[in-house]
Amino acid sequence: MEKITDIETFRKRESFEEINQPNIKKTKSENSKEDIVYLKENEQSNDVNDNLNSETKEVKNNNVNIDLNVKELQNENEEINIQNDNLDEKLSNFEKCESQIQHLIEKTNDNDGVDNIPQDNKIEQQSNNLFEENNLNTEIKPETSQDFIYQFPIYEFKKETTLRSTDPIYNPRCSTHDDFSNNFEINNYFKGAKWSPDGTCILTSSNDNNLRIFELPDISNNKIEEINIKPALKVCDGESVYDYCWYPYMNSSDPSTSVFISASRDLPIHMWDAYYGTIRASYCTYDIYDQIVAPHSINFNLDGSKIFAGLNNLIQIFDISRPGQPINKKMTTPTRKSKHGQKGIISCMDFNPDYSGLLAAGSLSKSIGIYDTNNSNELVYQQKKLKGGVIQVQFSPDGNYLYSVSRQTDGIICWDIRNTGKQLCEYVRPGKTNQRISFDISKDGKYLISGDKDGYINVYELMHVIKSPEALEELNNQKIEFKSIKPTYRYEVNKDTITSVAFHPYYPIIFTCSGQRKFNMNILDEHNVENCAIDSTSEHSTTIEDSQKEIINYKCNYSENILSIWQIGTM
């Protein structure tokens, strides 16, 4: 009986569990759903917390940056305050000086029976001393070593017959005696030269179709002997060189700017590397018939971004960043038969240094034209019927005057640009030759220097008589006499034609280069004998011996082809 009861109880339990099993399943499913919902809510809350944490971090970083900016501003304000304090100290010192000067003046006015001149000198000395002391005490040192104040070099010209000297310094300081022979059979001579914009080297052009670069040696240490200089670089274009020009912002310490351009016969414009002598770029010039021709003159504009090339009745403009064809053309005359415009070959050009965009162009047809490059390159003025073909034009440093020289003429003409067409004066020099004899103007605008065909250097003190608007108005209303001015200083430096002379941009030194084409004169007539300085009044003038013929041939064929550097002031 007990076993049966156990079985019955077991069945009852099973039946009970079967009855309650769906409820248990329901509770389990409900619990699992709740767990899933709970997990999702936890994940969402965690995402929100992460976003909040990232935002808080960003806010903290922003606050840190703001703090740093605030510190920088505070430091800048402190520096400004220090500078203001220094300026206040300076002002107070200057006020003290002024009060002391007034006190001294009052004392001198109170004194009777004393000469005014020495007292005034004493006052000036005392005031100058006071200002110097205060300036030394309150001087603000520059923040960097790059701060530099440009000062014009001081030239010391003397009333002597030559620049050659041995005491206190040896002049010329440098020359090329050993590199250029005096043999007339070689027939090589310097046609011209130009300083580099930074003043470290000289670019020369010679009759052998070569362009040479001579570096300026250190002449401050060696003062007792002449230094022999040799070319550091030589490039050959293969044809006769018409013109050449440095890049206006050339700096020898920056190889990317150390370039120059040249124009040669039957060749395009070449841009040369001044370090290695290789061609960096070429610019092709075309005439009015689209045929490749060589320009007779080239020049950079003031910012160095464009190249201007002068041809026959045409000026072409190139962008230096786009080698090849020109970007613009300017016809100087409408047609070949037209009487308007500037006709002929544009042989020289120069830009006005006042950044007004004016371009002066000289023509071999005896005319000068002024173009406005800021206004479609229009011709704003033209001067015709000059004495000869123009071979050089140059503006004064202030941009108010234009100087020009022509072939077969003995003078350099000065024009007033503010009242265009007025010839102010002519600086006389012996220059009746077809050879180019260039001139130069000092950076301060005080001196003009030029060579001549006799081997002399001519120095002129420039007479800028028209400066104020009132004087300009008087010039318009009356006739000004045209003056011929002789050189203030004249020095003999060579035995041959001085083809080029120029001032150094920073130091009181100049260079000269000389030479001309010579011919072998084997047949001697009376005219040749006179030119060779043979005394025709001597007893032996009718019969010339062989030894005398050799001397005559040597004197007639002698050529002094030399590049020399001269010091004309303290360095």
Condensed to tens digits (0 to 9), the pLDDT of residues 347-379 reads 999 999 999 899 999 999 999 999 999 888 899
Both structure tokens of 195: 């300083």
User: Averaged over 143-154, what is the pLDDT?
Assistant: 63
Environment class of residue 24 by beta-carbon count within 10 Å: exposed (0-12), middle (13-18) or buried (19+)? exposed
Q: How far apart are CA 422 and CA 411, in angstroms?
A: 16
Task: Answer yes or no: are the C-beta atoms of 446 and 401 closer than 8 Å.
Answer: no
pLDDT of residue 538: 39
Is residue 175 over pLDDT 70? yes
Burial of 170-182, coded b for 16+ CB within 10 Å and e otherwise, reads bbbbbbbbeebeb
What would the mean pLDDT of 13-23 be, rounded to a whole number?
Answer: 57
Nearest to 245, CA basis, from 270, 228, 219: 270
Neighbours of 287 (CB within 10 A): 13
Mean pLDDT score, 11-22? 58
Contacts of 439 (CB under 8 A, 6+ apart): 392, 394, 403, 405, 412, 448, 449, 450, 451, 501
Mean pLDDT of the chain: 78
More confident call, 536 vs 456? 456
Q: Give the whole-angstrom CA distance, residue 137 versus residue 362.
A: 55
Comparing CA positions, the residue from 350, 362, 371, 372 lying closest to residue 302 is 350
State the average pLDDT over residues 215-225.
Answer: 82
What is the arithmetic mean of pLDDT over 226-254? Answer: 92
- How far apart CA 304 and CA 316 sit, in angstroms, is 15
What's the pTM value of the predicted model, to 2 decimals?
0.68
| 46-53 average pLDDT score | 74
Give the per-residue pLDDT at 6.
56
DSSP line for 362-405: EETTTEEEEEETTTTTEEEEEE---SS-EEEEEE-TTSSEEEEE
Q: What's residue 527's pLDDT?
A: 47
Of residues 94 and 320, more confidently modeled: 320
425 contacts: CB under 8 Å, gap ≥ 6: 413, 414, 463, 482, 483, 484, 485
Q: Compute φ and ψ for 414, nearest 5 degrees.
A: -105, 125
The residue among 546, 544, 519 whose CA lies nearest residue 534 is: 544
What is the pLDDT, as a whole number, of residue 335?
82
Contact 367, 310 (CB under 8 A): no
Sign, CA dihedral 38-39-41-46, equals positive
Looking at mean pLDDT, say which of 92-106, 415-429, 464-478 comes out highest: 415-429
Residue type for position 331: M
CB 352 within 8 A of CB 358: yes
Q: Which of 228, 160, 192 minimizes the C-alpha distance to 512?
A: 192
Share of the chain above pLDDT 70, in %: 71
**Least confident piece of the model among 45-59, 232-246, 349-363, 442-456:** 45-59
Question: Which pair of structure tokens corresponds to residue 84?
Answer: 């203001």
Residue that is written with structure tokens 């076993």 in the block: 3
For the cut 50, the answer to whether the pLDDT of residue 532 exceeds it is no
Instruction: For residue 161, give both structure tokens.
Output: 């017959």
Task: Note the pLDDT of residue 349.
Answer: 95
